[in-house]
């Protein structure tokens, strides 16, 4: 059977928000992927949406003999154990963000994947959102001149603490573990690795049990001189009003209001093959530095399913996975450094080894040349 005729049988572990809203519909929208097994205790909810799918325990799904790819969309603290089990069962693995809850776990998973010769990737889906695609297009256009500042906000208004694991004290919980991997990965995607990190992370809601505010700065140097600052911000106490993304350069500035529409469309049941899917009505705004002229620029259509298209092609055609293990480790290094920076009140370098830096740069060069 040729690669074009083969089907990748997928086990999805976890059918909460991430599994139900994101992974299941995106997987099912990609030709060549078949969602065959779901590891969940919510069999009725799974069968209501996907009647012909086998539902079993998480552990059985991770090692099921009929599946090729295991997708892990469970609470953060369980990512490492489930991914390690699947890799040792000779499955390719996709892990929802955050990859793991410690850098040490990320390194251990990378080693297990190498030992077993398996594909291991993390679901950094924001790379395929309209906002990030538009920012990348503006950088590549040269219209901004030399860019010195990028800022991205993922702000929400949730003043009441909810009873759920993400907002309870414990490993892998909190807002920065939830949204930080998105923000960090898009910064790496747009600008590469910074040289240092300084961060403030806090719990500002009176009943909060874990962090609900983060302001993280990535510092970039060139030839020993500062040349770029990236500001990543998230909070649960912002009712809106400001731009989500901003780029400032020597010629112009660009900003984008409004979030990518794919999450809301998926929540409403729109399928990824709908022609309206991912079409963002909120254009970017380019402001000329010399004249102050404001020009609206339509943003690219978001298409998160492209992540799974590339995963399919990595398995069936030997192509490069969309997010490399080196990239996943770099995100975890910055995530861990930001927590330490906030705790110590210091600017810190990235805790990456020389081998990890070389692997990341090799992956970046390969991605940019492909």
The 10s digit of each residue's pLDDT in 151-160 is: 999 999 999 9
The pLDDT confidence band at residue 5, using thresholds 50, 70 and 90, is confident
Domains of the chain, earliest start first: 8-123+307-326 (3.40.50.720), 127-302 (3.30.360.10)
At 8-50, the pLDDT tens digits run 999 999 999 999 999 999 999 999 999 999 999 999 999 999 9
Query: What is the model's pLDDT at position 241?
Result: 78
User: How much is the mean pLDDT over the chain?
Assistant: 94
pLDDT of residue 370: 47
Threshold 0.85, pTM exceeds: yes
- Confidence check: pLDDT of 165 > 80: no
- Mean pLDDT to the nearest integer, 189-193: 96
pLDDT tens for 77-133 read: 999 999 999 999 999 999 999 999 999 999 999 999 999 999 999 999 999 999 999
Q: What is the C-alpha separation between 133 and 301, in angstroms, rounded?
A: 8
Residue (of 9, 79, 20) closest to 47 by Cα position: 20
**Alpha carbon 146 to chain centroid distance?**
27
Report d(CA 321, CA 319) in Å as an integer.
6
Q: What's the confidence (pLDDT) of residue 195?
A: 96
Q: Report, as an integer, the average pLDDT of 315-324.
A: 95
Nearest Cα neighbor of 367 from 326, 329, 332, 320 is 320
d(CA 131, CA 244): 8
Percent of the chain with pLDDT over 90: 90
Place of tokens 């369980």: 78
pLDDT score recorded for residue 171: 86
How much of the chain, in percent, has pLDDT values that exceed 70?
A: 97
Whether residue 237 has pLDDT greater than 50 = yes
| Secondary structure (H, E, C), the chain | CCCCCCCEEEEEECCCHHHHHHHHHHHHCCCCEEEEEEECCCHHHHHHHCCCCEEECHHHHHCCCCCCEEEECCCHHHHHHHHHHHHHCCCEEEEECCCCCCHHHHHHHHHHHHHHCCCEEEECHHHHCHHHHHHHHHHHHCCCCCEEEEEEEEECECCCCCCCHHHCCCCCCCHHHHHHHHHHHHHHHHHCCCCEEEEEEECCCCCCCCCCEEEEEEEEEECCEEEEEEEEEEECECCCCCCCEEEEECCEEEEECCCCCHHHHHHCCCCCCCCCCCCCCCCEEEEECCCCCEEEECCCCCCCHHHHHHHHHHHHHCCCCCCCHHHHHHHHHHHHHHHHHHHHCCCEECCCCHHHHHHHHHHHHHHHHC
CA distance 48 to 323: 32
């Amino acid at each position: 059977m040729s690669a074009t005729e083969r089907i990748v049988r997928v086990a999805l572990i976890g059918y909460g928000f991430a599994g139900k809203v994101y992974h299941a519909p995106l997987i099912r929208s990609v030709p060549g992927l078949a969602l065959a097994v779901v590891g969940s205790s919510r069999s009725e909810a799974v069968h209501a949406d996907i009647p012909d799918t086998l539902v079993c325990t998480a552990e059985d799904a991770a090692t099921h003999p009929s599946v090729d790819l295991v997708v892990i969309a469970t609470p953060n603290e369980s990512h490492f154990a489930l991914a390690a089990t699947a890799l040792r069962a000779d499955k390719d693995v996709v892990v929802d963000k955050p990859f793991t809850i410690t850098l040490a776990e990320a390194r251990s998973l990378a080693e297990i994947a190498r030992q077993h010769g398996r594909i291991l990737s993390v679901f950094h889906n924001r790379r395929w959102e309209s906002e990030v695609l538009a920012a990348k297009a503006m950088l590549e256009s040269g219209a901004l001149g030399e860019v010195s500042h990028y800022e991205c906000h993922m702000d929400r208004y949730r003043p009441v603490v909810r009873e759920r694991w993400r907002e309870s004290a414990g490993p892998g919980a909190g807002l920065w573990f939830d949204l930080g991997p998105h923000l960090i990965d898009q910064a790496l995607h747009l600008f590469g690795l910074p040289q240092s990190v300084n961060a403030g992370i806090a719990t500002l809601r009176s009943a909060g049990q874990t962090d609900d505010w983060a302001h993280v700065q990535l510092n970039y140097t060139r030839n020993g001189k500062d040349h770029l600052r990236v500001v990543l911000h998230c909070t649960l106490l912002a009712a809106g009003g400001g731009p989500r993304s901003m780029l400032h350069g020597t010629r112009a500035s660009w900003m984008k209001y409004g979030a990518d529409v794919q999450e809301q469309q998926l929540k409403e049941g729109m399928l990824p093959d709908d022609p309206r899917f991912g079409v963002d009505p909120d254009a970017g705004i380019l402001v000329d530095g010399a004249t102050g002229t404001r020009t609206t620029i339509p943003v690219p259509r978001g298409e998160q399913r492209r992540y799974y298209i590339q995963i399919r092609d990595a398995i069936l055609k030997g192509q490069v996975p969309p997010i490399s293990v080196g990239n996943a480790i770099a995100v975890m290094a910055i995530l861990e450094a930001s927590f330490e920076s906030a705790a110590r009140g210091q600017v810190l370098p990235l805790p990456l080894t020389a081998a990890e830096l070389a692997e990341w740069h090799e992956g970046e060069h390969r991605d940019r040349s492909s």
